Structure 1
Amino acid sequence: MTQQGVRWTADQVLALAPDASSRKAGSRLGGAGPWSQTGSSGEGAVWGLCKGSGSKPYQTVIDVADAAGPAYKCSCPSRKFPCKHALGLLLLWAGPGGTAGPESSADAVPDGAPPPDWARQWLDSRRARAETKRSPSAAPERTAADPEAARKRAERRAERVTAGATELERRLADLLRGGLATAEQSGYGLWEETAARMVDAQAPGLAARVRELGAIPSSGSGWPARLLEECALLHLLASGWLHRDRLPAPLAATVRSRVGLPAPARGAPVRDVWQVLAQYDTADSKLTTRRVWVYGERSGRTALLLSYGAAGRAPALSLPVGLALDAELVPYAADPAAQGLRADLGEQFSAPAPATGRPPGLTPAAATARYGEALRDDPWVDTWPTTLARVIPVPAHASAPDSSTGFGSGSGSGAEWQLADADGDSALPISPSAASRSGLWRLVALSGGAPLTVFGECGHQGFTPLAAWADGSTETVRL
C-alpha cells in the first residue's frame, strides 16, 4: 500500500493461494461475518481476529509491503502459507480494480488504525530482522579462497560429469538400437536409475532431463516421436559436453550451465518499477517451483524470478499479478542458459502498487522469429517470454502449418485455438496444455472478438497465455 486507500483485487489475492482447496476455503471467509477488530495501516499491514471452532479467535496479521511478497502470521494450526484465514482477511480488505472498494469493504477493514499489540510485535520483529540483514555489519566474513584447491575440485567434477555423459550416450544408443517400444516395456524404473547415475556424476542438469524422459512413454498419441525428439536433445547436450573444447565459447558456457555446473557470479543490480506479469507453480514429488515473470517499465527488460518449496509447501516468494514494485533485481549475469532472464529480487524501495501500464508486444511472426533466435543461442531452451500485441483468440482449423510462423495450427501439435494477428495473416497456436485450462475461456471472453495484448511463454508446442490486457486497458487479467 504505497498510498492510503490502495488495495488489491480479489483475483490478486486468490492468486496467492497455495492450492485450490485453500482458495475455496479462503473465499468462504472473505465476508465480514467471522471477523472482528480488523484494520490496516499505511505501513502495509492488515490484521484481524477470525472466529473459529475454538473459544479463542484466530489472530491473523499480514505484511503486504514485504520485499519478497506478502508475509503471514496466524495462530491457527494450518501448515499452509497463506492459510485460509489470511486469504479471507485479504479478500475482506481487497477492493475491486485495485483501489479502495465499496464503503462496506473499507468499513470492514478500516485504514489508519494502529495495530494491536500482538500484531505490532510480529511486524516490528520481522522488520527488525530485515534491517539487520541489510546492515553492512551483518555480512559474514569471507575467507580468501584457495585458487589451486578450487581448480582441482573443478577438474574432479568435470571428470565425473564426463564419465556420466559417456554412460548416458551408451544408454541412449542401446535404447535406439533396441527400439523405442522397449522404453514402454521397461517402465519408469529405467529412467530413474539412469537419472540417479547422473546425480552421482554431479550432473543435475542431465539427471533432470533424463527424469523427464520417463514421463513420455505411454503418454498419449505420438509419444514415440516426442521421446525421439527429447532423446535427440539429450544426446546433443551430452555430446556437447564431451566435445566442449571444440565449441564457440558462448555455446560451451551454455552447455556447462545446462549440464548443471554452477554459475555463481551475479551482475549489477537493476533498479526499475517491475510489473508482475505472471506467477505459476510446477511440482513434482520432491519440489515445488514457482516462476514469476516481471517486466521493467523503464528498462523494457523481462526477468524471471524462481522460488522453491519442499513438496506440499508453497515457495516463499509470492508477488500478486497486476502489481508493480520499485525494486532492484540482481541478474544471473554469468548463467548463459538463463540468457539474461533469470534474476533474484533485491532491495525493495516501496510497497507493491497497482500497475499503470503494460509491456509492448510483437506480432506472432516477429515472436516466432525471436523464439528462433533464442533457440539458436540455446538449443535446450524450453520456452521464451513473449508479449503479443493486437491478437485475437480464434479456433484453429485443421490445415497445413502456417507459412508465416512455421508452427502447425492443426497437425501434430493438437492445438484447437490460436492467437491470430488482428492486422496481418500470421498466428501462433495455443499449446495443448493451455488449451485444456480454464484460462483459455477467460481469454476468449475478455476478447469477445476484439484485439488483446497477451503475455505468455512461446515454446515448441505453441504459445501458453499467462496474462492479458483488453484493448485500451492497463488492468492485468491473470489467466
Structure 2
Amino acid sequence: MLLTDGGEPLGTAAPAVRWTVEQVLALAPDDASRKAGNRLGSAGPWSETGREEPGAVWGLCRGSGSTPYRTVVDTTGPAYKCSCPSRKFPCKHALGLLLLRASDEAALPSAVPPDWAGEWLADRRRRAAEASAVREEPVGGAAGAAGPADPAAARRRAERRAERIGGGVQELERRLTDLVRGGLAAAEQSGYGLWEETAARMVDAQAPGLAGRVRELGAIPASGPGWPVRLLEECALLHLLDTGWQGIDRLPPPLAATVRTRVGLPAAAGGAPVRDHWLVLAQYDTPEGKIVARRSWLYGRESGRTALLLSFGAPGRSPGQALPVGVTLDAELTPHRGAGQLRAELGPQFGSPVPTGAPPPGVTVTGAIAAYGRALGDDPWLDSWPVTLRDVIPVPSRDGWQLADAEGDSALPVAPAALSRPALWKLVALSGGGPLTVFGECGHRGFDPLAAWAPTDTDTQPATDAHPAGAETVPLI
C-alpha cells in the first residue's frame, strides 16, 4: 500500500532535520494509533533499521506473525509504506519508527536502503522529478489549451443544481417561518426528528452546507439554559444565508463566493500561488456526518498570511494529508475564492520540511477581537478566526478559564470545547504563571487554543534562516 501526504518533494531537497516526538504524534490519525505507535517507539521490536538523507527511514518491526512488517517512511513528503494490513495512515508501525528516530537517532544508523525500501523511494523520487518537469513547462500548446470536455454540459449541470438549491432554500424558509410563528417552544417539543427531516431535504437539494447548519439547530434545544436565544440567532443566520442565495447575482463577487461555499458548493482555488516558508501551526480532525475533516493551519513567514488546508477521509479512514506541527515548508499555496480567502490548496514543495519553532507575530486580546469583528463583516456565518495572542496568561475564572493580557486589563474566555481537553493543563503548565504566545481560533464561543510557545532566551537574539528565534511549537490538540 502507498500513501502520499502532502506534495512531492524535488530531487534537490535539503537534508531533513529530525522531528520531535510531539511533531510525530501530530501525524497520528487517532488516539488509538497514537497509543499503539508509542508502544513501538523503542528499539525492542525493530531490526535492520536505517536512515538515508535527505529524509528516509526504514526498518523491520516484529509483529504477531512469523514475518516482520516492512516499514519505510519518506519524511520529505511525508509518505509511508508498510506491509501490515492496517488501513490507517500512517499506521502504528510508521509512527513507531518515527518515534524511535525522534527519541534515539543512533538506533537508525546511516546506511544504503535495502531493495524493498530503495525501490519505493526511487519510484517516489522519479515521479517527483517528472511532476517538477511538468510544472516547469510553459503554458500553451494542446495541453495548455485543453479545457473541460463539454463546457455546455457542465453549464447545464450547474444550472440544474442551482435550481434544486433554490427549491431547497424556499422550503427551508417556509419551515423557519413556521417555527417563528408557532413559537420556539415548539422546537423543544418536536425533538430532533423535524430537523433531521429538513436536513435530509437539503441534501436532496444538493445543498450540504445548509444541511449541516440545519442539523445543528436540532441539537440547540438540548444545549442547556439560554437555548431559545441561541436557536433564534442560528435561525437568523440561516435566513440571512437563504436571502444571500436568492439575491446572489446582486452580491459583490467575494461575498457571492462565500455564500456559494456556505450553501455547500465546492470552493475553487482562484488566486495566484503564493510561495513562502509556511509554518504548520496546528492540525486536528473533526467528524462531519459520516466523513472526517482534517484542518491544518499554516502561517507564511514572508507573506504574513494564515492559510487553512482541508482534507477529508471516507468512513473508517482518516484524511490523507498529514503535516507535522512545528515544521516549516518551503512550498506554494493557492488560495480559494471567497471573502476571507483563508482556505488554500497545498502545491509543490521545495526541499524538506524543517522543524522551526518561532511563533508568528501576535496581537493583544483587543486586537484579536477586532480581527474577528472585521472577518465577520466579510463572512457573517464565520464561527471563528485564526489569531496569535502574544503575552497572555491562562488564569481561572468563575466560568472556567481565560487568557488575560499580561500588561493589560482585557481577557478572552477559553472556549468550552477546550475546557474538556487535557491539553488545557499543558497550556497552564507551559505558562507557569508567566506570559506566553498562543495560536488558536477566536470566535463567539471564546478562544480555542491550538498551539503555544513559551518565551526563551533566544527570543532576544537575532534570528537567521538556519536558526530562527523562539521556542518549540507545542500542539494543544
What TM-score bracket applies, with the shorter chain setting the length?
0.7 to 0.9
Trace 1:258-297 onto structure 2 (pairs within 5 A): 258-297=262-301
> Are the structure 2 counterparts of residues 363 and 82 from structure 1 closer, same or farther at C-alpha, using a change threshold of 3 Å?
same
Q: Check whether the contact 1:284–1:311 (CA below 8 A) recurs between aligned residues.
A: no
- CA distance in structure 1 between the partners assigned to 2:177 and 2:42 by the alignment: 61
Show CA shifts across 1:204-250 (max 9, x none): 22122112222323133333332222111111111222234554554
Q: State whether residues 450 and 471 of structure 1, in contact with CA within 8 Å, keep that contact through their aligned partners in structure 2.
A: no
- Matches of 2:155 and 2:108, distance apart in 1: 59
Partner of 2:35: 24
Conserved 8 A contact 1:325-1:352: yes
Q: Partners of 2:116 and 2:131 in 1: how far apart?
A: 23
Partners of 1:53 and 1:178 lie apart in 2 by 62
Is 1:303 matched up with 2:304?
no
Separation (CA, whole Å) in 2 of partners of 1:462 and 1:14: 27
Aligned to 1:392: 393
**1:100-139: per-residue Cα shift (whole Å, max 9, x none)?**
xxxxx1321113x111101111222233334444443896
Q: CA deviation at 1:365?
A: 0.5
| Structure 1: gaps spanning 5 or more residues | 96-104, 398-414
Amino acid at match of 2:106: D
What is the TM-score normalised by the length of structure 1?
A: 0.87
Q: How many residues align?
A: 446
Q: Give the distance between the partners of 2:71 and 2:371, measured in 1 at CA.
A: 46
Distance 1:158 1:77 in 2: 43
What's the offset of the Cα at 1:57? 0.9
TM-score between the two structures when normalised by the length of structure 2: 0.88
* 24-33 or 248-257: bigger deviation: 248-257
Q: Offset at 1:156?
A: 3.5
Asked if 2 retains the 8 angstrom alpha-carbon contact of 1:386 and 1:456, the reply is yes
Counterpart selection for 1:13 from 21, 24, 27: 24
Aligned to 1:54: 65
Please, which of 412, 423, 426 is the counterpart of residue 410 of structure 2? 426
**Counterpart check, 1:171 vs 2:193:** no
Cα distance in 2 for partners of 1:146, 1:139 equals 16
Partner Cα separation in structure 2 for residue 299 and residue 365 of structure 1: 23
After TM superposition, the structure 1 = structure 2 runs for residues 163-242 of structure 1, keeping only pairs within 5 Å, are 163-242=167-246
Q: Which residue of 2 aligns with 1:441?
A: 425
Q: Which whole-Å CA distance do the structure 1 matches of 2:421 and 2:83 have between them? A: 35
Partner of 2:90: 82
Q: Which AA in structure 1 matches 2:31?
A: A
Q: Does 1:477 align with 2:477?
A: no
Q: Is the 8 A contact 1:456 1:465 kept in 2?
A: yes
Q: Which runs of 5+ in 2 are unaligned?
A: 1-8, 457-469
- Kept after mapping to 1: 8 A contact 2:16/2:353: no
The answer (yes or no) to whether the contact 1:12–1:321 under 8 Å persists in 2 is: yes
Q: Aligned to 1:64, which of 66, 75, 80?
A: 75
Give the structure, 1 or 2, with the largest relative contact order (CA under 8 Å, sep 6 or more). Answer: 2
Deviation track 1:43-78 (CA, whole Å, cap 9, x = no partner) reads: 211100011111111111111111xxx211111122
| Rounded Cα–Cα distance in structure 1 between residues aligned with 2:453 and 2:269 | 36
Map Cα deviations across residues 431-479 of structure 1 (whole Å, 9 max, x no partner).
0111121111111100011110100000110000000011233210111
Partner of 2:297: helix, strand, or coil? strand
CA distance in 2, matches of 1:242, 1:285: 27
Aligned-pair RMSD on alpha carbons? Answer: 2.3
The aligned residue for residue 108 of structure 1 is 107
8 Å Cα contact 1:431/1:463 also seen in 2? yes
Q: Which moved more, 1:146-155 or 1:118-127?
A: 146-155
**CA 1:43–1:152 in structure 2 vs 1: closer, same or farther (change >3 Å)?**
same
